[in-house]
Amino acid sequence: MESIIKKEIAKGMGLTLIKTEKFKSNLISINIQRMLDKNEAAKNSLLPQVLASGCEKYPSMKELSDRLDDLYGAALAADTSKRGERQIISFKVLNTNDKYIDEKIFGDIIELLNDLITKPLVIDGGFKKEYVEIEKENLKNKVLSIINDKRSYAHKRCIEIMCEGEKFSIPSAGTIEEIDAITPDSLYEHYKKIIKNSRIDIIVEGDFDCEEIENTIKSHFSIERGEIQHVVREEFAKEVKEVKKVDEAMDIKQGKLVMGFRANTDYKDAKKYYALVTGVGVLGGGPHSKLFNNVREKESLCYYIFANVDKYKSIMMISSGIEVQNREKTERLIMENLDAVRNGEITELELVNTKKSLINGLRSSCDGLGGMSEFVFSQELGRTDYTVEEIIDYVENITVEDIVDAMKDIQEDTVYFLTNEK
């Protein structure tokens, strides 16, 4: 059983310690929060990759890699992710627990992270040009890979159309043009701004002495703090005045139908939110779901079909891959199955299998090293404080009536179809 301690250790800086005896390694995560903003999304995606390429003390990737090897093969990962209308710049180090080696290295790990994040390699007032250019190419390839993956592209386009004018529509990696415009100097200026005024959450998961770990972090990790950016919660409720329908043509063999819905449910209302999640699971959460069985299996209309819900923005997306000529029938059957769930036409087997799938998925995701770190951080982002067992209890006690109540506010917003017909 995990023991979790949370506290603020500096202005705009939180520390969460997850003590567990399940693992022989520790995971340290440093998460920097930014509001999703078109003017900085590309820079935020580029920044951690450039910082992880080298710093003052270890100016090359080889020197950095050698240092990680010296620390008993510690592994470093840097990334930027989108959570609702926020971007999270993260640095993670997986290292062997001090208990299983001949020396204490946790302080050295924190010092290394401090060097990477607060003492970057700067040349003539900017980041090293070579590192910036390499990572710009990598980021552009990432953007292009989404375009080439038609399933991901269709999902992205539906969100852009559905949430036009809302921060949620902003692509986390930015655009090719925005990436091209970044220079070593402009990226460094952006870094200096956000490192001072962003919320930072440090999470340590593993088997350790909590007081010792806290003191080590306080003594080895230091960032000058300024006025911290206020992270505004997403607007999750929206009345749909007219359903948007957009068809786009590309050279593809398989049509991609994506339907976006406003769920209008506050995740802070745990009972209603997890009833919504369960209802969406009954609708399209796997092989037990209505869409899988009624649209894919019985009617043979789809190569794939699934539904999911974004916790923070409260939107439900239904995605499917179909033959172009099956578009109208597929769309009609999707709405019929959604209406069935909204009307409470749910069998006991569908409900039991959905609950089992959700609970097993939650337990499985929290079972490995890093799982509880992700779970706790998601609670931090949502400003909620549920435990895994509390959520499981909510799911286990959800009734068909709860699902009907939660899904009555769902409104169709956007239908996007990627087709091969001009």
Q: pLDDT tens, 226-278?
A: 999 998 888 999 999 999 999 999 999 999 999 999 999 999 999 999 999 99
- Residue 213 shares a structural domain with residue 249: no
3-state secondary structure of 401: helix
Tell me how crowded residue 251 is: count the other CB atoms within 10 A of its CB.
5
* Number of compact structural domains in the chain: 2
| Residue 237 maps to a domain | no
pLDDT of residue 19: 96
> Strand locations in 72-214, DSSP E?
75-83, 86-96, 122-123, 126-127, 199-206
| Residue 239 maps to a domain | no
- Residue 144 shares a structural domain with residue 272: no
* Overall average pLDDT of the 401-412 stretch: 97
- Residue 186 shares a structural domain with residue 254: no
What angle do the packed helices 388-396 and 270-284 form, to 10 degrees? 60
| Residue 235 maps to a domain | no
- Residue 116 shares a structural domain with residue 22: yes
- Residue 216 shares a structural domain with residue 257: no
| Residue 105 maps to a domain | yes
> Which residue is listed with tokens 């409720």?
237
What angle do the packed helices 210-220 and 106-118 form, to 10 degrees? 30
- Residue 211 shares a structural domain with residue 264: no
pLDDT of 283 strictly over 80: yes
Q: Which domain holds residue 289?
A: 244-419
What is the DSSP code (8-state) at residue 232? P
- Residue 385 shares a structural domain with residue 350: yes
| Residue 229 maps to a domain | no
| Residue 64 maps to a domain | yes
- Residue 252 shares a structural domain with residue 122: no
Q: Looking at 204, 220, 236, which one is the last position of a domain?
A: 220
- Residue 282 shares a structural domain with residue 338: yes
Give the rounded percent of residues in the chain with a pLDDT score beyond 70.
100
| Residue 110 maps to a domain | yes
Q: What CATH number has the domain bearing residue 333?
A: 3.30.830.10
Q: What is the pLDDT of residues 70-99, one digit of tens each?
A: 999 999 999 999 999 999 999 999 999 988
pLDDT of residue 261: 98
| Residue 231 maps to a domain | no
- Residue 145 shares a structural domain with residue 292: no
Residues 395 and 64: their CA atoms lie apart, in Å, by 45
- Residue 107 shares a structural domain with residue 171: yes
- Residue 194 shares a structural domain with residue 54: yes
pTM: 0.94
